[in-house]
Structure 1
Amino acid sequence: MLKTDQTIEPTPPPGAAADWTIDQGWESYAPAEHATWDRLFARQTAMLPGRVVPAFLEGVALAGLDRPGIPDFGALSERLMKATGWQVLAVPGLVPEPVFFEHLAHRRFVAGNFIRRPDQLDYLQEPDIFHDVFGHVPLLAHPAFADYMQAYGEGGLRALEKGAIDRLARLYWYTVEFGLIRDGDDCRLYGAGIVSSYGESMFALDDPSPNRIGFDLRRVMRTRYRIDDYQQNYFVIDSFDDLLRQTIETDFAPLYQEIATQPDYEPGELAPGDVIITRGTQAYALAKD
């Protein structure tokens, strides 16, 4: 998920550098932890072909994630640097927003170095190394998406000055974490929160409950989201190139002012002007409520 926290102190914890990075400690992983990674990896890669955007699987191979065991961030960064200039750095957990955006703006992706317990395979509240690395890293090997992530970090630093982080966080949530992409008449997965989750990888494409809506920047930034369950709305981009173009060409300062006076949309709500790809029943959310 968005690896920031507005409530934590800006001083890094003991053992962390000034930029909040730490040593991954790869040699300290126990065999059982490597086995947990391998189990999660095998489960996801068995069901993602035909469901995830092809660039994701290409990135898995390019980054060397298909090798057994938890990836070593040093070797992983070497491969990414050659492809798109990105590197992966370990952090002790959630980091302050300025730190997160500064890293992204300089093509540094920060990732937690712990892995979930075997009894947490299907749900974990705080993102672990499997979510951060398996979910996010493959698309950092795709040039347009890699550029989008850097542009997002640069935009985050500007949004801090405008007091608009909540709006920009929604863009990250509905693209980087829970985005879908068009593939002809179909949709494919690309968001890290989906592709690292076995249940949501099926729900996002197959379940009749959620709305699937054509991506619109203003609409996304006015839409609340759920952090504790499957999404009720998914937004579908046309391509990574188009997502990058919209991000680079948009002047966000007047956009923030414009939407500040407009009401938010709730999760699952449809809005006038939505390009509805799939009108969901919302049965899943209604049953939970």
Structure 2
Amino acid sequence: MRTEVLSAAEPYIIRQDYTAYTQEQHAVWAELVERVYPELEKHAAREYLEGFQIIGLQRDCLPHLGSISARLEPRTGWNSTPVSGFLPAPAFFEMLASRRFPTTTWLRSRESMEYTPEPDIFHDVFGHVPMHAHAVFADFLEHYGRVCAAISDSAVLEKLGRLFWYTVEFGVIRQSGEIKVYGSGLISSHGECTNVVSGGCAIRDLTLDEVLQTPVKVDELHKLLFAIDSFDQIYDAMREAERRAMRGRL
């Protein structure tokens, strides 16, 4: 685990007390995985499924972040760093730029299994972290954090947030003639994933212009998402967004 000081993020970094998790919490994790993983085996991007195996996620017990990072860091330089909760933007971007993914350690209750408004360890680890084992995606995510960390204009950050939303959170990819999910919000939400694979959501080719013009809605199932053909596309889109931002044309 890296030990460098991150000025904005340091106050939020904590230690995961793995022994504090109860058998009930491990059981809730297992039920959450069992609800979605059989569908993901059919509908998730192959890079996600490969990453799931690479980082050693278990289907029947909560993840130990140190163990995951020990497998992930030699591969792409990323690790899962436990944090106390929601981070302000400067701290979040600083951590991404350092290849440290801010990971919450709490788990939703059985009564909130379908939805929780605040990300928990299921969303953060099950949803996000397997993709960090993919080299191009890992590089894109660091680049995104580095660019955003250098920007103070809130309007520009909102536009860049749309790129994050429609790729990292709700991204889909065409593979073998089918739409596959890779975004964490789709991976970790049975309802959102079903909405996509059942045809309830329109899918258009990802273009930077349309993504930047499409507002984010958090209070309803998505009616429109954007598909890529390779992960190089999201990295290319990030580079173009950076060029526009630097010229004041985003």
Report if TM-score (shorter chain) is over 0.5: yes
Q: Secondary structure at the match of 2:227?
A: strand
1:156 aligns to what?
Answer: 148
2:3 aligns to what?
Answer: none
Aligned length: 243
Report the AA paired with residue 244 of structure 1: Y
Shift of 1:233: 1.0
2:227 to 236, 241, 257: 236
Based on CA coordinates, which of the two structures has the bigger radius of gyration? 1
1:146 to 118, 138, 141: 138
Q: Does 1:212 align with 2:203?
A: yes
- In structure 2, distance between residues paired with 1:90 and 1:82: 19
2:177 to 170, 181, 185: 185
Determine if contact 1:63/1:80 at 8 Å carries over to the other structure: yes
2:53 to 37, 47, 61: 61
Q: How does 1:51-200 map to 2 (within 5 A)?
A: 51-66=43-58, 68-160=60-152, 163-200=155-192
Determine if contact 1:159/1:168 at 8 Å carries over to the other structure: no
1:282 aligns to what?
Answer: none
Determine if contact 1:105/1:154 at 8 Å carries over to the other structure: yes
2:19 to 18, 27, 48: 27
Shift of 1:81: 0.6
Determine if contact 1:19/1:99 at 8 Å carries over to the other structure: no
Determine if contact 1:102/1:154 at 8 Å carries over to the other structure: yes
- In structure 2, distance between residues paired with 1:258 and 1:85: 32
- In structure 2, distance between residues paired with 1:82 and 1:160: 33
Listed one character per residue, the Cα deviations across residues 4-23 of structure 1 (whole Å, up to 9, x for unaligned) are xxxxxxx98xxxx7341111
The structure carrying a bigger helix percent of its residues is 2
Q: Secondary structure at the match of 2:61?
A: coil
Determine if contact 1:77/1:87 at 8 Å carries over to the other structure: yes
Shift of 1:161: 5.2
Q: Secondary structure at the match of 1:160?
A: coil
Q: Secondary structure at the match of 2:27?
A: helix
**Structure 2, gaps ≥5 residues long:** 1-6
- In structure 1, distance between residues paired with 2:182 and 2:59: 21
TM-score normalized by the length of structure 1: 0.79
TM-score normalized by the length of structure 2: 0.91
- In structure 2, distance between residues paired with 1:232 and 1:163: 24
Determine if contact 1:59/1:140 at 8 Å carries over to the other structure: yes
- In structure 2, distance between residues paired with 1:30 and 1:48: 27
- In structure 1, distance between residues paired with 2:10 and 2:130: 27
- Regions of 4+ moved over 3 Å: none
CA 1:131–1:240 in 2, change beyond 3 Å: closer, same or farther?
same
CA 1:222–1:35 in 2, change beyond 3 Å: closer, same or farther?
same
CA 1:49–1:117 in 2, change beyond 3 Å: closer, same or farther?
same
Report the AA paired with residue 243 of structure 1: I
Report the AA paired with residue 125 of structure 1: P
